Amino acid sequence: MALQCGIVGLPNVGKSTLFNALTSAKALAANYPFATKEPNLGVITVPDPRLDKLASLVNPQKILPTTIEILDIAGLIKGAAQGEGLGNQFLGNIRTVDAIIHVVRCFVDDNVIHVDGNVDPVRDKEIIDYELLLKDLETVEKRVQKAKKDAKGGDKAAVKALENITALLEHMEAGKPARSFDTQEKEEYITLLKELSLLTAKPILYVCNVDEASVHEGNDMVKALEKAIEGENAELIMVSAAIEADIADMDSKEERDEFLEMMGLEEPGVNLVIQASYKLLNLITYFTVGVKEVRAWTVLKDAPAPKAAAAIHTDFEKGFIRAEVMKYDDFVSLGSESAVREAGKLGVQGKEYKVQDGDIMHFLFNV
């Protein structure tokens, strides 16, 4: 499942530095706008201690974690919606991703220039919001015009469609992103947003790039941004890209662990970004366990068993018969598949079963 998160932000906010730390890629992280002129794509593993625990019990030949893709997109400036800077390229690239990681600068450093002269995370957020909103308004306004034509004859369905799209337009004309449009108990609104594929409807994670001193408690800039995104249905975390860059350059796990302990951190900030991105995409993990490999698989939350099987191979979905399911906690506490079977803890599930995070599964199929 090649789901993508796109890292966005104004120039010089630390997004390419964070991308490098996430992927160990060598995207250019330079102190001037548009250092990243082509999107950089990295495939990153999702850290999951459960995978290591299962491997320690089974001792497989291979251990395969699950992954997501991260796209580092060129910096955006005011006027992008009209093609300023790398605006058209930026907007084209962001349209392809499933979710957005918006890196916002929340530190002051006179040695790192800011494209607008001073650091103001709320203003920086609003610049990108405005440019994305402008493009979305173009899309919605075109749909409104079409809906008006369709509704002229008085067809009830067409009139209702016009009401729905007009409500969305009014919401966005008030400067609000599509993701905050109230879709509760409105299935037609959900369908409408899916059809339009709006930029501001994509789930978003705000990553506050803070200085070393603020990595634990944050600072006034972080608090201001937290207030600014209230009601937006978005997530926010804090990371120091400078610290993450140092960690990425360390050769050994022991060195990294010692550094993390010295900094008072339980794990690298990039782990938080990856885990939050995974959650943002509404994903869960199930496992397959055997002597050849212990592997983590990505599936959408509440996916039925046949769809989960398709992550392994489409034939598994086509010829799905049933799934044998063990719970992670049972497997760990009892120590093996045979012990789980003997304890009567192995469940046999059909096509309607919704896969749960941490399930250990074997699929029976016939094509």
CA distance 305 to 343: 23
Predicted confidence at residue 116, as pLDDT, reads 66
105 burial via Cβ count (<10 Å: 0-12, 13-18, 19+): buried
Neighbours of 174 (CB within 10 A): 7
The closest of 192, 121, 321, 98 to 181, measured between CA atoms, is: 192
Query: What is the Cα Rg of the chain in Å?
Result: 23
Annotate 217-247 with b (16+ C-beta within 10 A) or e (fewer): ebbebbeebeebbeebebbbbbbbbbbbeeb
Q: Is 135 helix (H, G, I), strand (E, B) or coil?
A: helix
pLDDT, position 85: 47
Inter-CA distances, 82 with 88, 97, 125, 199, Å: 8, 21, 18, 16
Nearest Cα to Cα of residue 7 among 74, 61, 80: 74
Q: At what angle do helices 121-151 and 187-196 cross, to 10 degrees?
A: 100
What is the pLDDT tens value at each position of the chain, 367 positions in all?
567 899 988 888 888 888 888 887 544 544 444 444 455 888 888 889 999 999 999 999 999 998 888 888 876 655 544 554 444 566 777 888 889 999 999 998 877 766 666 889 999 999 888 888 988 999 999 999 999 999 988 888 899 999 999 999 999 999 989 988 888 768 888 888 888 989 999 999 999 999 999 999 999 999 999 999 987 878 999 999 999 999 988 888 899 999 999 999 999 998 899 888 888 888 999 999 999 999 999 999 999 999 999 999 999 999 999 999 999 999 999 999 999 999 999 999 999 999 999 999 999 998 7
Phi, psi torsion values for 326, nearest 5 degrees: -120, 145
